[in-house]
Structure 1
Amino acid sequence: MRIHFIAIGGSAMHNLAIALHKKGYRVTGSDDAIFEPSSSRLARHGLLPEEMGWDEANITADLDAVILGMHALTDNPELLKAQELGVKIYSYPEYIYEQTKDKLRVVIGGSHGKTTITSMILHVLNFYERDFDYLVGAQLAGFDTMVKITNEAPLIVIEGDEYLASPIDRRPKFHLYKANLAVISGIAWDHINVFKTYADYTRQFELFIDTIEPGGKLIYCSADKDLEAIVKNSKADIEKIAYAIPAHVVKDGITYLLPDETPLKVFGDHNLMNLNAAKSICAELGIDSKQFDAAIGSFTGAAKRLELLLSEAETNVYKDFAHSPSKLKATIEAVKAQFPNRKLVACIELHTFSSLNKDFLVQYADTMSAADIAIVYIDKKTFQHKKLDPFTKIDVQTAFNCPGLLFFDNSELLKEYLLKVNFYRSNLLLMSSGNFGGVDLVKLARELNIVEQGI
């Protein structure tokens, strides 16, 4: 099979390219820019394009398929040539389905928790040496790539994103997988650039339920009342299984799963609900409750999901991928509940198109109220790149309903402020889908002032 990737450098795209290369396919690709870690991974497998840019000569009639990444534009010369020649063009979710239509497909959807639930399932399956394929949105410990597709594995576990499939296929990705077993973790409005209203956004989850194969199963979070209403109103020919927070106890900053008091390396109500979703899926795959608990105790979390950067005396520093209002609120409340006797300094970088939209900003009201010190950072260059009007400090404080909130648009000034704070008996939570203007967060954590006298 000869496959060409247009925009091979994307996170999912380069991993799929590597997976197909390992499967024995002849893979080529192009992109106008490829960054780390994609470039090193592609180079390791001989898949890194020799030159950056698009060249219609890459597209020939003998190609079996072209896989089109979201980064490409509709007037991409390679795309136009493929259309002219009649070469079959797939989005990557379409091609994942094409490769796995004879397997059991487990699809994890929802506005939040997708990566963690998927990662938990993969961890447990790996623990018991089960054979499976997967597609996940973060690099996981013990897994070389974020995509694995083989001929042999009887099932695939897919993190099902609700964003668009490709520039020429405006369907959400998770509509294309046709799940046999599905999860919806919850619904909180996101991707305002595509789904202009909450009703439009929730409609995508209604449609997702309709894509589940007849006789399949949907596992959903009953704590989300909007989701529960959607599930109850669905006429899909599937079994519906609710989940909630499992029984647990917190002692000295460690969460224990009941009844056997299994110690966990993750915490927070949102992670415990994620755990129960993963447990329900694993039960459908033949892994019982005791087996699941025995395996999940060693799960340390997905990359950038409450990732511990520093633990010193009575101070922890975490980085987290939280960026949407629901994720921000859940993550702050989780850290505060786990360490009620420590002060919490919480800093969010607003980076996504939705979060930088003035009409959407009000969705962040009261999301940081559990923090003792709330900080919002926006790289002023981000507004320029996205061609948006910048926010003022008052804009942000008003939208967050937090008059004492601190606002920075310069990463050096933010770092300068944090290095002046005394973090004794305090936790620092750094949240972003960006990179805080290039600040080395590990180095910052090591340089923090931690002196026994209170903040």
Structure 2
Amino acid sequence: MHIHILGISGTFMGSLAVLAKDSGATVTGSDLKSYPPISDQLEDLNIKVIPNYDIDQLQLKPDLFVIGNVMSRGMPIIEQILTQNLPYTSGPRWLKDNILDQKQVIAVSGTHGKTTIASLIAFILKDLGADPGYLIGGIPIGFDRSSNIGTGPIFIVEADEYDTAFFDKRSKFIHYKSDVLLINNIEFDHVDIFNDVDQIIWQFHQLLRTLSPRTRIIANGDDLNIQKLFALGVWSEIDYFGSSFSDSQKWTCVLDDHGQYNLSLKGKKLEPIHSKLFGQHNMLNVTAAIASLSNLGLNPRELMASAQNFIGVKRRLEYLGKFSNIHLFDDFAHHPTAIKASMAAMKSKFHSSRLYAVVELASNTMRKGSLKSDLKESFHDADFVWILDFGDAEWDIQKEFLGIKNVGIAKNMEDLSDQLWSKLKVDDSLVIMTNKDSVGIRNILIKGPPI
């Protein structure tokens, strides 16, 4: 069978391409832009990617088009697929029909933390000798790719609330048959399809209405929007986790002064977790992963021991090394809450060094400026932050940050380079924060200061 994927270079569709190829299909695809690590993954698997959406690719005559949510009505290739009545489906529906229906599914949802938690769950199972299936929106460090069918019965899927396709405006996660559903947090995001957080909560509510009573929900008890969700109705049992003790909370974790994660189960303290991850947000991510896997009958102490071996995920506060005497980190953070959490984690871990960041406002939410007030509160822990302003934002970035002493604006890469080298000193730390390709920013440090 020949499958042609429109929008193949996104993290979800690029991972789907791997599963389709492993299933025995011939896979091709198209996209306008491709970024590592997904572009590298597709190239390694010899999956041909056409760098456009021209209708000429219809001559490939695939058996099925899998259409990503980047595609829309009015695009010539979409109009031709519909006119010629060619077979098509969405990525989430293909995943359900061809993979998930035969698996025991752990679905990881929420505005933040999905990739780290899903990666950690997959890592722990592999560390304990299993061969789980997974589809993750990133590549765990030590893994060679972002998805795997797996020979075992368990499949971990990153369950996104973004819409499915132009012909199915439900959230992707509505298609996934969840045996364990993790809800890590709910916050306003994706302003291109949601008007407010209540619309996101409503999509989660539709998900809960489809769950079996046997599905176990693992939920962040600290999150008020999750409580609003459950007030609308829930018909499955819930295990709560969080950072504060309460009678309703099954799993509680507290970060101590030494950076250890101190986990308790039903109020009983377990051994500290010496995680290679750091920060309050990662503490909750680790707790969520252990809570999810404990429902499979696995020993919590074995889960905790394996979690300590997990290094992290590419582009999630990933340490790239020391370049020009500067410690360089790459982070996918592109929402004010995620930016703030990463900054706080960096400051707590490397409090003795100066912390700098380059932030690119590349997501639709950031470009539209819907969360600009929250963004201004995200930089408290940084010594200085540069915001890239290439002129494609729908708000006046320069005006908004005027007078904020630890924020500068860079108009282009040359401008950024000049500003970086005017401040950076030996052993400083620099974090790149963008959901786009970070290579251009990295190269500034790799090349070093001008002589």
TM-score range, shorter chain: 0.7 to 0.9
Q: In 1, distance between residues paired with 2:432 and 2:59?
A: 45
Q: 1:405 to 1:82 in 2, by over 3 A?
A: closer
Query: Which residue number corresponds to residue 247 of structure 1?
Result: 254
Query: Which residue number corresponds to residue 441 of structure 1?
Result: 442
TM-superposed CA distance for 1:36, in Å, is 5.2
Q: In 1, distance between residues paired with 2:394 and 2:255?
A: 46
109-118 or 34-43, which moves further after superposition? 34-43
TM-superposed CA distance for 1:345, in Å, is 2.3
Q: In 1, distance between residues paired with 2:87 and 2:97?
A: 12
Query: Which residue number corresponds to residue 176 of structure 1?
Result: 175
The answer to whether the 8 Å contact 2:32/2:51 transfers is no
Matched, 1:67 2:66: yes
Q: 1:45 to 1:332 in 2, by over 3 A?
A: closer
Q: Which amino acid aligns with 2:314?
A: A
Q: In 1, distance between residues paired with 2:208 and 2:401?
A: 36
The answer to whether the 8 Å contact 1:248/1:261 transfers is no
TM-superposed CA distance for 1:390, in Å, is 5.4
170-179 or 209-218, which moves further after superposition? 209-218
Query: Which residue number corresponds to residue 411 of structure 1?
Result: 413
Query: Which residue number corresponds to residue 95 of structure 1?
Result: 94
3-state SS of paired residue (1:165): strand
Q: Deviations over 1:266-313 (max 9, x none)?
A: 10000000000000111112322210121111111111111113369x
Query: Which residue number corresponds to residue 127 of structure 1?
Result: 127
Matched, 1:282 2:293: yes
Matched, 1:264 2:275: yes
TM-superposed CA distance for 1:211, in Å, is 3.1
Structure 2 counterparts to residues 380-399 of structure 1, below 5 A: 380=391, 383=392, 389=394, 391-397=396-402
TM-superposed CA distance for 1:39, in Å, is 5.5
Q: In 1, distance between residues paired with 2:352 and 2:24?
A: 55
3-state SS of paired residue (1:131): coil
Q: In 1, distance between residues paired with 2:379 and 2:43?
A: 42
Q: In 1, distance between residues paired with 2:178 and 2:305?
A: 27
Q: Which amino acid aligns with 2:201?
A: T
TM-superposed CA distance for 1:16, in Å, is 2.0
The answer to whether the 8 Å contact 2:332/2:434 transfers is yes
Query: Which residue number corresponds to residue 138 of structure 1?
Result: 138
Q: Deviations over 1:61-81 (max 9, x none)?
A: xx3x43112233324555445
- TM-score of the two chains, using structure 1 as the length reference: 0.85
Q: In 1, distance between residues paired with 2:46 and 2:442?
A: 32
Q: Deviations over 1:395-454 (max 9, x none)?
A: 2348xxx45522222222222222222435643322111246x534266168479xxxxx
The answer to whether the 8 Å contact 2:432/2:441 transfers is no
Q: In 2, distance between residues paired with 1:372 and 1:28?
A: 47
Structure 2 counterparts to residues 275-424 of structure 1, below 5 A: 275-310=286-321, 316-380=327-391, 383=392, 389=394, 391-397=396-402, 402=404, 404-424=406-426
**Count of residues paired in the alignment:** 431
Q: 1:209 to 1:378 in 2, by over 3 A?
A: farther
Q: In 1, distance between residues paired with 2:398 and 2:35?
A: 33
Q: In 2, distance between residues paired with 1:7 and 1:192?
A: 20
Q: 1:206 to 1:116 in 2, by over 3 A?
A: same
Task: Name structure 1 gaps, 5 residues minimum.
Answer: 450-455
Q: In 2, distance between residues paired with 1:403 and 1:39?
A: 38
TM-superposed CA distance for 1:43, in Å, is 4.9
The answer to whether the 8 Å contact 1:68/1:92 transfers is yes
The answer to whether the 8 Å contact 1:59/1:81 transfers is no
The answer to whether the 8 Å contact 2:92/2:175 transfers is yes
Q: In 2, distance between residues paired with 1:428 and 1:317?
A: 5
3-state SS of paired residue (1:145): coil
Task: Name structure 2 gaps, 5 residues minimum.
Answer: 244-252, 264-269
Matched, 1:220 2:219: yes
Q: 1:193 to 1:185 in 2, by over 3 A?
A: same
Q: In 2, distance between residues paired with 1:41 and 1:333?
A: 32
Give the RMSD, CA atoms, in angstroms: 3.0
3-state SS of paired residue (1:354): helix
- TM-score of the two chains, using structure 2 as the length reference: 0.85
The answer to whether the 8 Å contact 2:205/2:233 transfers is no
Q: 1:143 to 1:227 in 2, by over 3 A?
A: same
TM-superposed CA distance for 1:10, in Å, is 3.6
Structure 2 counterparts to residues 44-55 of structure 1, below 5 A: 44-48=44-48, 53-55=54-56
Query: Which residue number corresponds to residue 235 of structure 2?
Result: 237
Q: In 2, distance between residues paired with 1:115 and 1:236?
A: 25
Q: Deviations over 1:374-394 (max 9, x none)?
A: 3322233xx1xxxx5452412
The answer to whether the 8 Å contact 2:219/2:238 transfers is yes
Query: Which residue number corresponds to residue 112 of structure 1?
Result: 112
